[in-house]
Amino acid sequence: MWEQIRANQIRSAFVMIFMGLLLIAVGFVIGLYFLGTAAGGIVIALIVWGILNLVALFQGDNILLSLGKARKVNKEEFPRLYNIVEEMTIASGLPRMPDVYIIDDPAPNAFATGRKPEKAAIAVTSGLLQKLNRDELQGVVAHELGHIKNRDTLLMAIGGILLGTIVLLSYFASRMLFFGGASRGGRRSGGGSGGGGAQLIIIIIGIVLMILAPIAARLLYFALSRKREYLADASAALYTRYPEGLASALEKIAGTPTQLQAANNATAPMYIVNPFRKAGQAASNLSSTHPPISDRVRVLRSMGGASFADYDAAYRNVRGSRGGVVPRGALGLTGDAPVRPPSTETEPVTQTEAARAREVSDALWKTNKYQTVECECGAKLRVPPGTSLSQVKCPRCGTTHPV
Amino acid sequence: MDLWIWIVIGVVVILAISFISTYNGLVRARNQVKNAWAQIDVQLKRRYDLVPNLVETVKGYARHERETFEMVTKARNLAQQLTSAGAGERGRVESELSSALGRLLAVAENYPELKANQNFLALQEELTSTENKISFARQYYNDAVLRLNNRTQEFPSNIVASMTGFKAAEYFETTLEAERQAPRVSF
């Protein structure tokens, strides 16, 4: 049923075609410069692409998991996580429960991988397990399973290989152009007396293409990734019937300043939250792999129910865009999906570093006999002892409080 | 004359193709309902297995709660007897078991030693998760039923459905009353 999502991703297909064209263009230029024939270059580009594809086909998932330093776990070690993955497998209707991996890292994050739902895996960091309660963890796992169900893992794998090929080819080609360009076929065949000016222009265009192609490919890849994050959020809301779980998980993850150690540029788009995000950054630019967390949270929080249609409406509302994010074919696939009540399982009692620091500073102010006024906006105002003021104004929201 | 024959053949071919694809769509929808039902069944059976264990563990610490134990055991046995009943009937019986279990776990709240017991904690996690799995499986099942029923009622697939004997499936509902009584297995 939800497979229809795939069929409707015209935009994603467009991006893929564009990346493919970019690869052919790179091959074209390489052929022109080093072989004297454009077709030869294109063939080389396709061969390199084919080899990378084969490598990925045979052990793509293993590479990604080992790059992320993940280890496989069973039910005895992590019963709660395992159960939650099982629950979400049932809710999403996946044919097989994905393998569960743990990454020993205090930074909370998660990712999913696998070309087919039958061979999928999901990895979460130990930091995520510590910081999130059951509903939040469920939201994150549902988001990752949404990626698997919507075939994003496959799409990102194909896109990643295209990107890798383009980066690899233009890297070596530009090295050779700068340092060993003497063997250029183009010069040998066409380099007589005349046409020097035209050739120079071609060379310059070639160099510019070699520099721009990997950047353009990366931007396309990231654009692909951003759109897919919203769709996975919509799936998570539908599976859990509880958008607030994912929303508050995203907030918790965003509020943690630690960065993931084992992430790199190639694997970044796979995580639930961009692992290279700097604390407090809400950049919504072309070079980010993920949409801004604040937007994702706002969309989730303004949902009326938990169905795809509810997410789509909330997305249009928050983003002020006419185009939705859920493909039209998928909107009518579920009936009304009322939001369920939260699970009453207690919060994990582990205290974050920030909370501990706040407690210490509270105690220090108190020993110095400062009066503390708590404002509705969350700010704490410290009033020195023996003040002559009868009221203070909150510097953040502007309300006045009696002392 | 020739032209008319071709037009008739063309119409027949188009009708046949659309009949086949509609029929296959109906079969897919019905299989999805069946699979989803099997998933619910697995989880309900899992819960029957968990209940005696849980009762035994709680009994060790809370001997005076005999009434609650009896209620849970009775609800479980009744549910187990009706495993071949339809979705509607089963939903009612299972929701009674849910609410009985909810009461048992609420009772457990009063015994701090019980709450510190490792065995109980493991059972508790299992039961929480099984309850969740039942409700997620129900969610998926009901969505599948909705899609099948839409197809058996919407035009033109309803024609194919009635010709080939597809019937609307029954939703798996837990009664509202029991839903309200059963605290979503809370600890």
Tens of pLDDT, residue by residue over A125-150, are 998 998 899 999 999 999 999 999 88
Cβ atoms A292, A282 nearer than 8 A: yes
> Å from A128 to nearest chain B CA?
19
DSSP 3-state of A273? coil
Cβ atoms B48, B76 nearer than 8 A: yes
Kindly determine whether residue B146 and residue A335, on different chains, have CB atoms separated by under 8 Å.
Answer: yes
Say how far apart CA A156 and CA A115 lie, in whole Å.
9
- How high is the pLDDT of residue A116? 82
Q: Has residue A273 got a pLDDT over 80?
A: no
Q: Across residues A239-252, what is the average pLDDT?
A: 92
Of residues A84, A90, A134, nearest to B137 (C-beta): A90
CB-neighbour burial class of residue B175 (10 A; exposed 0-12, middle 13-18, buried 19+): middle
- The DSSP H or E segment spanning A271 is none
Helices (H), A94-195: 126-131, 134-149, 152-179, 185-190
Q: What rounded mean pLDDT belongs to chain A?
A: 77
Q: Has residue B184 got a pLDDT over 80?
A: no
Of residues B122, B136, B147, nearest to A91 (C-beta): B136
- For a pLDDT cut of 70, what percent of chain A falls above it? 77
Q: Across residues B38-55, what is the average pLDDT?
A: 89
Kindly determine whether residue A79 and residue B137, on different chains, have CB atoms separated by under 8 Å.
Answer: no
pLDDT single digits (tens) B66-75: 888 888 898 8
Chain A residues in contact with B128 (beta carbon < 8 A) = 83, 134, 343, 345
Which is catalytic among the residues A144, A229, A251, A359? A144
Q: Has residue B187 got a pLDDT over 50?
A: no
- The DSSP H or E segment spanning A72 is strand A70-72
> Å from B2 to nearest chain A CA?
40
* Measured CA distances, A36 to A65, A213, A246 (Å): 41, 21, 55
Query: For chains A and B, what is the number of CB pairs under 8 angstroms?
Result: 61
Q: Which tokens sit at A112?
A: 């999913």
Domain boundaries, given as residue ranges, for chain A: 1-340, 358-402
- How high is the pLDDT of residue B120? 87
Chain B CB within 8 Å of residue A287 CB = no
Q: Has residue A180 got a pLDDT over 60?
A: no
- How high is the pLDDT of residue B26? 93
The closest alpha carbon to A229, from A186, A288, A178, belongs to A288
Q: What rounded mean pLDDT belongs to chain B?
A: 85
Kindly determine whether residue B126 and residue A83, on different chains, have CB atoms separated by under 8 Å.
Answer: yes
> Å from A84 to nearest chain B CA?
7
* Measured CA distances, A249 to A253, A258, A312, B131 (Å): 6, 15, 21, 22
Say how far apart CA B78 and CA B63 lie, in whole Å.
23
Q: Across residues A352-369, what is the average pLDDT?
A: 70
Residue type, A112: A
- How high is the pLDDT of residue B143? 87
Chain B CB within 8 Å of residue A83 CB = yes
Q: If you write DSSP's letter for every residue of A319-371 in order, what string do you get?
A: HT-SS-SS-HHHHTTS---PPPPPP-PPPP-PPPHHHHHHHHHHHHHHHTT-E
Kindly determine whether residue A346 and residue B187, on different chains, have CB atoms separated by under 8 Å.
Answer: yes
Spell out the residues 6+ positions from residue A186 whose beta carbon is closer than 8 angstroms to its own. A32, A33, A36, A199, A202
Cβ atoms B85, B29 nearer than 8 A: no
Domains of chain B: 2-181 (1.20.1440.20)
Q: Across residues A237-261, what is the average pLDDT?
A: 85
More confident residue, A77 or A14: A77
Kindly determine whether residue B136 and residue A334, on different chains, have CB atoms separated by under 8 Å.
Answer: no
Other CB atoms within 10 A of residue B86 CB: 11
> Å from A126 to nearest chain B CA?
19
Q: Which tokens sit at B176?
A: 């509202």
DSSP β-ladder status, A400-402 and A391-393:
antiparallel
Q: Across residues A375-392, what is the average pLDDT?
A: 76
Per-residue pLDDT band for A301 (boundaries 50, 70, 90) equals very high
- How high is the pLDDT of residue A179? 67
Of residues A1, A84, A92, nearest to B147 (C-beta): A1
Q: Has residue B128 got a pLDDT over 90?
A: no
- How high is the pLDDT of residue A90? 93
Per-residue pLDDT band for A333 (boundaries 50, 70, 90) equals low
Kindly determine whether residue B140 and residue A90, on different chains, have CB atoms separated by under 8 Å.
Answer: yes
Say how far apart CA A269 and CA A280 lie, in whole Å.
19
More confident residue, A161 or A322: A161
Q: What are phi and psi of A371, to 5 degrees?
A: -90, 140
Q: Across residues A329-339, what is the average pLDDT?
A: 69
- The DSSP H or E segment spanning A69 is none
Say how far apart CA A47 and CA A27 lie, in whole Å.
10
- Give me the residue label for tokens 């072989």: A35
Q: Has residue A264 got a pLDDT over 90?
A: no
- For a pLDDT cut of 90, what percent of chain A falls above it? 15
Spell out the residues 6+ positions from residue A382 whose beta carbon is closer than 8 angstroms to its own. A365, A370, A371, A372
Candidates A76, A90, A241, partner chain B, best to mutate (most B CBs within 10 A): A90
Say how far apart CA A275 and CA A271 lie, in whole Å.
7
- The DSSP H or E segment spanning A58 is helix A38-67
Residues of A169-186 as b/e, b for ≥16 C-beta within 10 angstroms?
bbeebbebbeeeeeebbb
Kindly determine whether residue A90 and residue B144, on different chains, have CB atoms separated by under 8 Å.
Answer: no
pLDDT single digits (tens) A49-103: 888 888 877 766 666 677 667 888 888 889 999 999 999 999 998 889 999 999 8
Kindly determine whether residue A86 and residue B133, on different chains, have CB atoms separated by under 8 Å.
Answer: yes
Cβ atoms A154, A10 nearer than 8 A: no
Q: Has residue A243 got a pLDDT over 50?
A: yes
Q: For A17-31, A48-62, A205-219, which range has the lowest pLDDT when averaged over its residues?
A: A48-62
Task: Compute chain A's Rg from CA coordinates.
Answer: 26
Q: Across residues A371-397, what is the average pLDDT?
A: 76
Residue type, B160: V
More confident residue, B108 or A9: B108
Q: Has residue A184 got a pLDDT over 60?
A: no
> Scanning every residue of chain B, which has its alpha carbon at the shortest distance from the alpha carbon of A306?
B139
- A144 counts as catalytic: yes
* Measured CA distances, B7 to B12, B13, B16, B18 (Å): 9, 10, 14, 17
